[in-house]
Amino acid sequence: MHIGMVIDHLGVGGAERVALTLAETFLNQGHTVTIVTIDNVKTIEIDQRIPLFSLDFEKRLNKYVYNRKKMHTLLDAIQTESGAFDFILVHLYKASRVMQHYNKVQCFHIMHNTQSKSALKEKKGFSRWLVKRKIQNVYNGLDIICVSKGVETDLLDVMQVKPRSIRVICNPFDIASIRRKAEEPCDLPFYDEYIIFVGRLTKEKRVDYLLNAYAKSSIDEKLLIVGDGSESESLKLLAKTLKIDQKVVFIGAVSNPYKYIKGAKFLVLCSLYEGFGNVLVEALILQTPVVSTNCQSGPKEILKHYTLDALVDDNFDNEALAKKIKRWSNTPAPVDAENMEIFSATHVAQQYIG
């Protein structure tokens, strides 16, 4: 099969990693894969066997009308050279907006996020209505694949999108690669036991909630924070204010978080919302126990393969999370890694092909 992928860009992000994992899995299964980016941005490496093209989106009057025509011409040229696509997977909003009228090949638009949270956020009144209508105008009548049941429910019930078809396929994980990277030497500046947070330091990740709960828990383990973001400095200040700055270690973004996840006593996810919650699966693949807020959406769907006892109600009660952290510090629930095979890239890719 010849499988096309269209995505906003290949910068660092969860959707980009999902797309590349799928592409490499399809390739290893003997299929041909071609990737087209909307913007000419590439900061992550891709398999050299995968042809990569860029639309190089042009900002001009009637930009989407112009760039749609440009995209159609590019896709026609690729197929003339390399054979017709059997189907195209379209990732992220800008790509879907460019591709929404392309009907020469069946296109599946992948929803990676809970749109009512990521797109609407704190918008109210006319602004909220306008963004909601824009999303409806793009996705109505399309074939959609959601990465979790929660994303699907949100899209249909809250955003009131009316797709032609919709189904759920979870994110893929290269289990062997994750475990291999986790074996690299760990170079932390301390030897104490630790718990870990991995993710962007932004408001929706609610690391402030974690810091407050960690302070209340009074556990002996250090807290390792892996990631960068707009809240980085304010979180460091909060740690000082809570008098836990000697126990909380910020190491910034790293290329290989798996070696730190593997060495942790357990991992904490404390988000306001998720599309799926990749880091939970990655931790469980490495047999690292987890604790997570029962946020919309993804964690509950993942943790039914571990233990739902790992969930904390998403009302952001510091005391509730502190109690869970204290309990997991004493007796974390063990992980059966075999339960994670359902998330393997091979298993997930087959759902697209089949």
What is the domain extent for residue 216?
A: 175-340
Q: What is the DSSP string of 39-96?
A: SS-B-S---TTS-EEE-----STTHHHHHHHHHHHHHHHHHHHH---SEEEEESHHHH
Statement to judge: residues 332 and 241 lie in one domain: yes
User: How many C-beta atoms surround the C-beta of residue 89 within 10 A?
Assistant: 24
Query: Chain-centre distance of CA 35, in angstroms?
Result: 19
Residue 13: predicted pLDDT: 81
User: How many C-beta atoms surround the C-beta of residue 166 within 10 A?
Assistant: 18
Residue 187: predicted pLDDT: 87
* Residues with Cβ within 8 Å of residue 245, at least 6 apart in sequence: 236, 239
pLDDT in tens, 22-35: 999 999 999 999 99
Statement to judge: residues 137 and 258 lie in one domain: no
Domain with residue 311: its CATH number is 3.40.50.2000
Q: Is the whole-model pTM more than 0.85?
A: yes
Residue with tokens 């006593």: 265
CB 311 within 8 A of CB 269: no
Counting the structural domains of the chain, the total is: 2
Residue 111: predicted pLDDT: 96
Statement to judge: residues 222 and 141 lie in one domain: no
Label residue 121 by pLDDT band (50, 70, 90): confident
State the average pLDDT over residues 31-57.
93
pLDDT in tens, 293-321: 998 888 999 999 999 999 998 778 899 99
Mean pLDDT over the full length of the chain: 94
